[in-house]
Amino acid sequence: MYYHGGGFTYGDLDTHDGVCRVLCRHSGAHVLAVDCRLAPEHPFPAAVEDARAALRWAFANAQRLGADPGRVGVGGDSAGGNLAAVVSQLAARDGGPAPTLQLLIYPATDMSTRHRSRELFREGFLLTDGEMNWFEDNYLGTARTHAGDPRASPLLAEDLSGLAPAIVVTAAFDPLRDEGEAYAQALRGAGTPTTLRRFPGFIHGFINAAGVSRTARDALVEIAGVTRGMFFSTTVGSGPPP
């Protein structure tokens, strides 16, 4: 399951088709791309509801799609990484079934606090502070009433134990870097197996540059390889991915 980025306000199956194709080829896994409702027409929690419903559908239809229903993972980048983290938490608490892996690529994890990286890289690194404010206003409303809700800010969840093993990817010059890494540390602190990889020299959105940048493509291929290995290690007995 892959949820695309775009600040909860834009992006679709086409903007992330190349990313999903590389992940599919190099992870050895089927990739089911999901297109959730977007803000401001559909504010929080519409995207969360869609993401959770899509995961239920994936489990129910995995075998029909030629996939292994015992090995369903979730992934996403930026806003999609937020949704992947949130549905992992929800599925672990609401009766599931829960995913066996979560791939979180520079995820937004905390809309209640301005982490240091957001100040360090507020301008000049593609994703700006002004854009982030605009995304959050569209998604949560200008009052930010739900900023502290774990379904918007998964870092604020009271219990992060018992979740699927996680791969957390961050970029060195990304406003979201510190909150993504804080989430990785929180997962580890709760006993959830977590691999954290910070890519030096990259800015937010680098996986979408894989078609024009060799270094970005190499990074995405590496992420896919780690995903492949993690899928196997977390489902020993099912055999390696095809």
Q: What is the set of active-site residues?
A: 78, 174, 204
d(CA 33, CA 162): 25
For residue 188, what are its two tokens?
């580890």
Supply angle C-alpha 21, 2, 156, rounded to 5.
Answer: 145
Q: How far apart are CA 47 and CA 71, in angstroms?
A: 23
DSSP annotation string for 101-127: EEEEES----SSS--HHHHHTSSSSSS
Distance CA(212)–CA(198), nearest Å, equals 21
Locus of tokens 């099912």: 238
Q: Is the Cβ–Cβ distance between 238 and 71 less than 8 Å?
A: yes
